[in-house]
Structure 1
Amino acid sequence: MTDTRPNVLFLLTDQERADLLAPDGLPVETPNLDRLRDEGTWFDRAYTPVSICTSARASLLTGLYPHAHGMLNNSHEADAVRTDLPEDLPTFGELLAESGYENGYAGKWHVGRTRGPESFGFEYFGGSDDHHDEALDTRYKRYRESLDVGEETVEDAVYADDGEGGMVVSGTTSLPPEATRTYFLAELTIDAIERRAEGGDAPFFHRTDFLGPHHPYVVPEPYASMYDPDDIDPWPSYAETFEGKPRVHEEYTRYRGVEEFDWETWAELVAKYFGFMTFIDDQVGRILDALEAHGLDEETAVVHAADHGDFTGSHRQFNKGPLMYEQTYRIPLVVRDPTRETVDEIDAFVRLQDLMPTFLEWADAEVPSELHARSLLPLLAGDEPDDWPDSVYAQYHGDEFGLYSQRMLRTERYKFVYNGPDRNELYDLRTDPHELRNLVDHPHYEDEKRELQETLAEWMDEVADPLGKWVPKTFR
């Protein structure tokens, strides 16, 4: 009997802002991802459950918020609360393998120090880096040596003052595109597609995790000079004054070493960030072409998402951190499923971890009970369940300079942020889409604030957030 379940190709990027790919977004050339979006479904209100790599990726694997899977911050740092996922938590890779899928994985892992993709149901093809996944893979190094391109140098580098001699934020690599890790990950993916095309009848799931457009935004030509910094206008949120904001917002510009950056410097970084995204898009095009060339495009669902976004100068910030703005919490999410009819665009609130039960439902696999996630397949079919949430909830637990409890509620019009050690935030996104004015103490918004606080408390109760016992008391 022929297995009619779809193959799944999942392409995850690292720190890709949603507005890089949104139909009304930034002027960045992404023709291949645009084609994927135009042929599939764009989720206009997709959010990460937490804006930090390890935590978000663990939520993706488990369908749980960080407080439940325990990976509260990055696993590779000295301050890691946990260094590996608990072994008793079911993950979609293991469940797909149990249901008969052949699983492959290439690229960044960053969900633990000792247990890699092969511990979670995947055949690992390599491509990660030493910084995040020490000793997980050496294949890229061997690949680059085989090209005989010499030592890499970085020109026009921009540094952040991290207190340790400066950290490279952007620059132009001397390597040709084909010698970069980004290109190599596409090569690994194409090789995997070719093997699957020659294989048996079992469906496959393949995941490729690009390490960009995460900083350092160091890219090869022609991408490094593809965008002119002089043509890039300041973000509207660059007008940030930090007035009425939690103190940590301004403090973070100093902590990240970008306090002295002016817009001329930021524009240089943004130009490289845009170039990095176009470079990744070209690799996505190569992958999609290979899928079509091997006759797999009509039986393979393709999903593109990011673990979280990136500030790149928005609100004068670098990277991400204890700031729950749209630039880092809203993510791109595209699904192209040629095996069934789907709608073009969805404006319901969805989360990165909702992909976990979606993958399992595609595979006709049993979905674990008590997830903090729901399958997207009803939405893709244009059938929004009556009980689908009209808001989204997210978390942050701190990183590097100390634990810092945050909880976020985003509704169609408003955003409310609970900041444990500091003042809360309330934004009216209809009148202030760039989140510049904190209205948490504005007397005209008392009723709205009270309602948002109640909804946030309901979310915390629903997902058994352990702070749910205490946080609502601070609202009285």
Structure 2
Amino acid sequence: MMLIVVLSLQLTISHASSLSQDRKSQTKEISKSNVLILMFDDMRFDTFSYRGGPVHTPNIDSLASQGVRFDNAMTTTGLCSPSRAAMFTGRWGHKTGMDDNVGLYHSKVDELDLSEGGLIKRASDKGYLVGYIGKWHLGPQGTALRGAELTWGKPEHIGKRHQRQWTPYEKVGKINSYKQGKRDNLGEKHEYYETLAGTYDDTHTAHTVEEGKKMLRRAATDKRSFFGVISFEQPHPPYRVPEPYASMFDPQKVKLPNNHVIKRVNKPMSQDTAWWPWHDVSHMTEDDWRKSRTYYYGAIAMIDHAVGEILQTAKKVGLYDNLSIILVGDQGSMLGEHNLYDKGPYAYDELMRMPLIIRHPNITPKVIKRQVSMLDIAPTIAQWMALPADGDIDGHSLVPLMKRGDSAEQGKPDTAMYAYEWYNGSWFGIRAIRTPEMKFVWNPGDSRDELYDLQKDPYEIDNVINNEKYQNRRHQMIELLRQELARVADPSLEKFEHHAKLYKN
């Protein structure tokens, strides 16, 4: 549900003229940083024009051209709270206790334990000016309790802790009305797509931008180093945007992927369950799906505008020239692929992959093909900000890859692990391991696992788990997952090893 941009202002002892030499040599380490994170919610990896996507995104493209592109970045969990906790702490949910959404229907926890201070607490303890604007989704008051001085947002900042869960009673009736042929204003389905009244300036996105600008202006005048977050709720479904974004793309001309509304065959039963009322898409027509997709594209265009405003302000207040910028999404979202909408307990690339760009003024732009993880962001930022350790870290710093390219990890396995432990109080225990060629998904709550040949079947349509031609590849992927579970001390390792034995018989 998020896109993150981290803007880092380098404070070095050397004269400004030496910065030019640093850009060329790339040998000097960062001594201290001012950092701003821009987050966007449920941002797919494949929509931007710099990736050949359908949406013209000049501001995000500009960052891509100036920075290091990680074109195979993976989230930890296709779910807001767990992915955010992993990003801020660098640890898996079995260590932080955050492996489900908080504050929602059937959530088993309602906040990230305060013992998990993460980057916010570490920066505050280090003496940074810390600010957090917008969506947090890890428990009310969680940012202020970790030391954020500048906060703004919905009740998750100012609301009471340990409140009752939100339950979507009203959504049930709305979906039932769609199944009866009814529609909302303008013939739309507002649980999927909606044309908002007013203009961009009336949106919550614009209000978040304005509060973010205030924080940047404050950071530019404060003598302390700065760590801040501006967290947007877009483009999380339903896709709701004002004009001109609502009609920016023609639904009849939009290109649909090969796995669009395809019938699921040989897949886990959990994919057939509507975990939220709006997951029942039996009423969706082809036109509805096309409009949902184009409204999502409109939301991306609006987000690009917001990024431009923030970066322009950073330039205006004198922060931009020496900024390091990390742009990342917390996870993707389903737009009808496999006949799925929003997100759920599965590991498809549309949900698992995320955009990631890091622009650093002293590092030459390049494209990294190796897979990297959401877990790698915290150790990267901590290195820049010289933050003290706060426990074991499952990720690793991306600075070597940024400096030397893919060769920095030559000889190491090119893998990324993904998990879906809980979803709205229901247990799944899913673990997936991905290489550039294959993906193996262990579904311990089901009798059916998944194996995909990503080179022959990039849309993950054909589950070849029982195909004897893939026996050796299956064993290889199982071993890679076992090694990663062991490395991060995943408590599911023992159960996995027992299940894996079944494939040897």
TM-score (norm 1): 0.89
Q: Which residue of 1 aligns with 2:222?
A: 199
Identity of aligned residues (%): 30
Do 2:380 and 2:399's aligned partners in 1 also have CA atoms closer than 8 Å?
A: yes
Q: Which residue of 2 aligns with 1:222?
A: 244
CA drift of 1:5 comes to 2.2
Which is worse superposed, 207-216 or 296-305?
296-305
Name the CA distance, whole Å, in 2 between partners of 1:440 and 1:432.
Answer: 13
Name the CA distance, whole Å, in 2 between partners of 1:16 and 1:301.
Answer: 21
2:56 pairs with 1:38: no
Q: Which residue of 2 aligns with 1:265?
A: 288
2:38 pairs with 1:11: yes
Task: Report matched runs for 1:77-96 at 5 Å.
Answer: 77-96=104-123
2:453 pairs with 1:428: yes
Name the CA distance, whole Å, in 1 between partners of 2:158 and 2:260.
Answer: 36
- Tell me which of 157, 176, 194 is aligned to 2:199: 176
CA drift of 1:59 comes to 0.9
Do 2:49 and 2:56's aligned partners in 1 also have CA atoms closer than 8 Å?
A: no
Q: Which residue of 1 aligns with 2:145?
A: 119
Closer, same or farther: CA 38–220 of 1 in aligned 2, 3 Å: same
Closer, same or farther: CA 335–136 of 1 in aligned 2, 3 Å: farther
2:442 pairs with 1:418: yes
Q: Which residue of 2 aligns with 1:288?
A: 311
Do 1:32 and 1:284's aligned partners in 2 also have CA atoms closer than 8 Å?
A: yes
Post-superposition Cα deviations, 1:210-232, rounded to whole Å, max 9, x if no partner, equal 10100121111111111111111
Closer, same or farther: CA 314–401 of 1 in aligned 2, 3 Å: farther
Name the CA distance, whole Å, in 2 between partners of 1:51 and 1:375.
Answer: 22
Closer, same or farther: CA 465–296 of 1 in aligned 2, 3 Å: same
Do 2:107 and 2:425's aligned partners in 1 also have CA atoms closer than 8 Å?
A: no
Give the secondary-structure state (helix, strand or coil) at the position aligned to 1:471: helix
Task: Report matched runs for 1:135-214 at 5 Å.
Answer: 135=159, 155-156=185-186, 158-159=188-189, 168-200=191-223, 202-214=224-236
Give the secondary-structure state (helix, strand or coil) at the position aligned to 1:156: helix
Q: Which residue of 2 aligns with 1:448?
A: 473
Task: Report matched runs for 1:275-354 at 5 Å.
Answer: 275-338=298-361, 340-354=362-376
Do 2:271 and 2:344's aligned partners in 1 also have CA atoms closer than 8 Å?
A: no
Give the secondary-structure state (helix, strand or coil) at the position aligned to 2:326: strand
CA drift of 1:90 comes to 4.0
- What one-letter code is carried by the residue in structure 2 that aligns with 1:258? V
Do 2:333 and 2:351's aligned partners in 1 also have CA atoms closer than 8 Å?
A: yes
Name the CA distance, whole Å, in 2 between partners of 1:263 and 1:420.
Answer: 34
Post-superposition Cα deviations, 1:51-73, rounded to whole Å, max 9, x if no partner, equal 10011111111111111111121
Do 1:237 and 1:314's aligned partners in 2 also have CA atoms closer than 8 Å?
A: yes
Name the CA distance, whole Å, in 2 between partners of 1:398 and 1:126.
Answer: 29
Give the secondary-structure state (helix, strand or coil) at the position aligned to 1:122: coil
Closer, same or farther: CA 29–343 of 1 in aligned 2, 3 Å: closer
Post-superposition Cα deviations, 1:313-359, rounded to whole Å, max 9, x if no partner, equal 12211000011100111001111111x12341111211112111111
Q: Which residue of 1 aligns with 2:255?
A: 233
Name the CA distance, whole Å, in 2 between partners of 1:134 and 1:158.
Answer: 33
Do 1:253 and 1:259's aligned partners in 2 also have CA atoms closer than 8 Å?
A: no
Do 1:125 and 1:188's aligned partners in 2 also have CA atoms closer than 8 Å?
A: no
- Tell me which of 100, 105, 116 is aligned to 1:73: 100
Do 2:141 and 2:157's aligned partners in 1 also have CA atoms closer than 8 Å?
A: no
Give the secondary-structure state (helix, strand or coil) at the position aligned to 1:475: helix
Name the CA distance, whole Å, in 1 between partners of 2:386 and 2:284.
Answer: 51
Name the CA distance, whole Å, in 2 between partners of 1:388 and 1:286.
Answer: 40
Do 2:441 and 2:449's aligned partners in 1 also have CA atoms closer than 8 Å?
A: yes
CA drift of 1:157 comes to 6.1
Closer, same or farther: CA 155–32 of 1 in aligned 2, 3 Å: farther
Q: Which residue of 1 aligns with 2:427?
A: 403
2:377 pairs with 1:355: yes
Do 1:117 and 1:124's aligned partners in 2 also have CA atoms closer than 8 Å?
A: no
Post-superposition Cα deviations, 1:67-107, rounded to whole Å, max 9, x if no partner, equal 11111211112422222222323411111222232121111
CA drift of 1:385 comes to 3.9
- What one-letter code is carried by the residue in structure 1 that aligns with 2:343? K
- What one-letter code is carried by the residue in structure 2 that aligns with 1:125? T
Provide structure 2 residue ranges, at least 5 long, that are not aligned to the other structure: 1-10, 14-30, 162-183
CA drift of 1:253 comes to 8.8
Name the CA distance, whole Å, in 1 between partners of 2:356 and 2:48.
Answer: 9
Name the CA distance, whole Å, in 2 between partners of 1:242 and 1:353.
Answer: 31
Post-superposition Cα deviations, 1:167-219, rounded to whole Å, max 9, x if no partner, equal 7221011132111110011111111111222222x221221111010012111
Do 2:50 and 2:57's aligned partners in 1 also have CA atoms closer than 8 Å?
A: no
Give the secondary-structure state (helix, strand or coil) at the position aligned to 1:427: strand
Name the CA distance, whole Å, in 2 between partners of 1:60 and 1:124.
Answer: 20
Name the CA distance, whole Å, in 1 between partners of 2:116 and 2:424.
Answer: 26
Q: Which residue of 2 aligns with 1:151?
A: none
Closer, same or farther: CA 90–435 of 1 in aligned 2, 3 Å: same
Provide structure 1 residue ranges, at least 5 long, that are not aligned to the other structure: 138-153, 160-166
CA drift of 1:451 comes to 1.1
TM-score (norm 2): 0.84
CA drift of 1:370 comes to 2.0
Give the number of aligned pairs.
448
Q: Which residue of 2 aligns with 1:242?
A: 264
Provide the aligned C-alpha RMSD in A.
2.2
Q: Which residue of 2 aligns with 1:142?
A: none
